Amino acid sequence: MIQDSRLWIAGSRNPSYLLPGMANRHGLITGATGTGKSVTLKVMAESFSDIGVPVFLADVKGDMSGLCVPGQDSPKMQQRIAGFPLTGWQYKAFPTAFFDVFGTQGHPVRVTISEMGPLLLGRMMGLSDVQRAVLSMVFRIADDRGLLLLDMKDLRLMLQYVGDNADEFTLSYGSVSKVTIGAIQRSLALLEDQGADTFFGEPAFSIMDWMRIDANGRGFVNILSAQTLFAQPLLYSTFLLWLLSELYETLPEAGDLEKPKMVFFFDEAHLLFRDAPPFLIERVEQVIRLIRSKGVGVYFISQSPADIPEAVLAQLGNRVQHALRAYTPAEQKNIRAAAQAFRVNPEFDTETALTELGVGEALVSFLDEKGVPGIVQRNFILPPQSYIGPAGDANIAACVRASFLYGKYEQALDRESAYEMLMKKYGEQKKQEEAAKSESTETSSPKSTGKTAKSSSGKPASRKRKTVAERAVTSALNSAGREIGRSLVRGLLGGFLK
């Protein structure tokens, strides 16, 4: 809710205001399960929308979709509203756009293999350092030879092409082990089985489609339906990281603004940093530090501040801390660390308060106009004006059909890329090999005697091994067959293979 051009997020006696000019200094929403993080996220998203700031958030539980529907009155809501001096407060819906990498609960979101790049793709596939280096080399060869990597079949055949011609690339790019190529192909097949092949391809999603304002000057809330995607945590976290990096690479420098160009909420942020290699954490810290100058605020949502690396945590100036649990020594240590991150309020003990907070109550500290963290306040979060809970399939479908984006991403494209170009190359090679084989047979083979040809040992001659081109064509056809079979299984079972 807006009050005196500030975002009123929590509190009545000592209200906590988030200043629009400081919103791109990033933030953190933490707390144990069931303490009210989702409501806090929703209240902040509504407030940003009201001041004309587009918002992105991932809906991992399905309850964020209620933003497109006005809230419903109830005795519980009336009791919550009565705790604040709310004037002009009303239930209302917010401009909402829905997206879904699987295309069932929103506009499809696709990315090309080239756009994802070897670094993030390697993390998505769980590759080792050596395998990731080879994958980077494969990308470099594709770029140098003008081979577009758009979807999974492009990358699969490109890997085979590099493996089949490893000797040719050794001097220019470095040695390539066929064992390593095989390991990457197995990881790629596993990624396909997890359903990732559905969001690699074209038309690729344009990040600028998030930067929209409705006719009333309110920013759109862009919701990524992530219930299915969240079942694969590595895919979820890597895909959101790609979206964040796209924002950084696409938007121009903006400097200090009166309000952000956009706010990005990264829910279940601990998944991004779990088992992440040091180089990736460094990249994330760099993006968080620099994206502020692009006018983007990033807010991480997780259970504990300890889920976020110190280098990243230091960049998050606006904080909302819900209750934490302290059942083990490690959890007690996390509570002490969380309490020490706030400026002390002499009215209460921060560490003790962290274990006493009720549902919807939080310790709140936002940056002031000079960028200094405010004294921590123990406050209740304002009630949301939109519906608390899922909006329902009918409301989501209506929003999708009414969107000006409808029809832009719904139909997948498959233009000529690495797969088609390499299949043509392998086809020509196969014809040349067959022609040479036929010519050799005609000039050197003895006249047919009607008997089966035998080897020098007297045994029937064995069938010759397949040529490189034959192996490539066979592999491609087998892969296509596996994709059709996998699609049938998914359709019958109503979900993705695990």
The model's pLDDT over 246-290, given as tens digits with 9 standing for 90+, comes to 999 999 999 889 999 999 999 999 998 988 888 888 889 999 999
Between the alpha carbon of residue 211 and those of residues 56, 97, 216, 220, 316, the distances in Å are 10, 11, 15, 8, 23
Identify whether 119 is part of a domain: yes
Shared domain check, 181 and 167? yes
Parent domain of 235: 2-109+204-391
Between the alpha carbon of residue 308 and those of residues 123, 134, 215, 304, the distances in Å are 18, 30, 38, 8
Shared domain check, 18 and 90? yes
Q: Which of 333, 358, 391 is the last residue of a domain?
A: 391
Report CA Rg, the chain: 28
For residues 361 and 381, give the distance between their C-alpha atoms in angstroms, rounded to a whole number.
Answer: 6
pLDDT value for 445: 58
Please state which of the ranges 134-138, 407-411, 438-442 shows the lowest mean pLDDT.
438-442
Q: Which of 391, 423, 450 is the last residue of a domain?
A: 391
Identify whether 74 is part of a domain: yes
Identify whether 450 is part of a domain: no
pLDDT value for 471: 55
pTM confidence score: 0.84
Shared domain check, 237 and 152? no
Shared domain check, 95 and 230? yes
Per-residue pLDDT tens digits for 180-208: 999 999 999 988 888 788 889 999 999 99
Q: In which band, very low, low, confident or very high, does the pLDDT at 493 lie, cut at 50, 70 and 90?
A: very low
What element of type H or E holds 79?
A: helix 75-82
Shared domain check, 210 and 348? yes
pLDDT surpasses 90 at 483: no
pLDDT value for 330: 83
List residues bridging with 213 in a β-sheet.
Answer: 219
pLDDT surpasses 70 at 398: yes
Identify whether 212 is part of a domain: yes
- Specify the higher pLDDT residue, 87 or 311: 311
For residues 275 and 293, give the distance between their C-alpha atoms in angstroms, rounded to a whole number.
Answer: 29
Please return the burial class of 82, using the count of CB atoms within 10 Å of its CB with bins 0-12, 13-18 and 19+: exposed
Neighbours of 448 (CB within 10 A): 7
Average pLDDT over residues 207-228: 95
Indicate the DSSP class of residue 89.
Answer: -
For residues 55 and 26, give the distance between their C-alpha atoms in angstroms, rounded to a whole number.
Answer: 13
Shared domain check, 220 and 162? no
Please state which of the ranges 167-171, 194-198, 286-290, 344-348 shows the lowest mean pLDDT.
194-198
Shared domain check, 120 and 92? no
What element of type H or E holds 59?
A: strand 55-59
Give the number of domains in the chain. Answer: 2
**Which two structure tokens, joined as six digits, stand for 81?**
């509203």
Shared domain check, 167 and 62? no
pLDDT surpasses 70 at 326: yes
Identify whether 397 is part of a domain: no
Q: Is 472 helix (H, G, I), strand (E, B) or coil?
A: helix
Shared domain check, 484 and 378? no
Please name which of 3, 109, 96 lies closest in space to residue 54, comparing C-alpha atoms: 96
**Residue 111 near residue 199, CB atoms below 8 Å:** yes
Shared domain check, 104 and 121? no
Between the alpha carbon of residue 133 and those of residues 277, 279, 317, the distances in Å are 14, 13, 36
pLDDT value for 181: 94
For residues 406 and 108, give the distance between their C-alpha atoms in angstroms, rounded to a whole number.
Answer: 10
Identify whether 77 is part of a domain: yes
Percent pLDDT > 70 in the chain is 89
For residues 351 and 317, give the distance between their C-alpha atoms in angstroms, rounded to a whole number.
Answer: 19
Shared domain check, 316 and 196? no
Identify whether 458 is part of a domain: no
Please name which of 187, 86, 92 lies closest in space to residue 132, comparing C-alpha atoms: 187
Shared domain check, 296 and 383? yes
Average pLDDT over residues 56-69: 94
Return mean pLDDT, the chain: 87
Please state which of the ranges 196-210, 374-388, 401-415, 427-441 shows the lowest mean pLDDT.
427-441
For residues 476 and 157, give the distance between their C-alpha atoms in angstroms, rounded to a whole number.
Answer: 7
Q: In which band, very low, low, confident or very high, does the pLDDT at 433 lie, cut at 50, 70 and 90?
A: confident
pLDDT value for 91: 95
Identify whether 442 is part of a domain: no
Tell me the CA end-to-end span of the chain in Å, nearest whole number: 43
For residues 269 and 300, give the distance between their C-alpha atoms in angstroms, rounded to a whole number.
Answer: 6
- Specify the higher pLDDT residue, 16 or 475: 16
Per the document, the length of the chain is 498
Please name which of 93, 94, 66 lies closest in space to residue 391, comparing C-alpha atoms: 66
Strands ordered across the beta sheet of 377-380: 107-108, 96-100, 221-225, 55-59, 262-266, 296-302, 27-30, 318-321, 361-365, 377-380
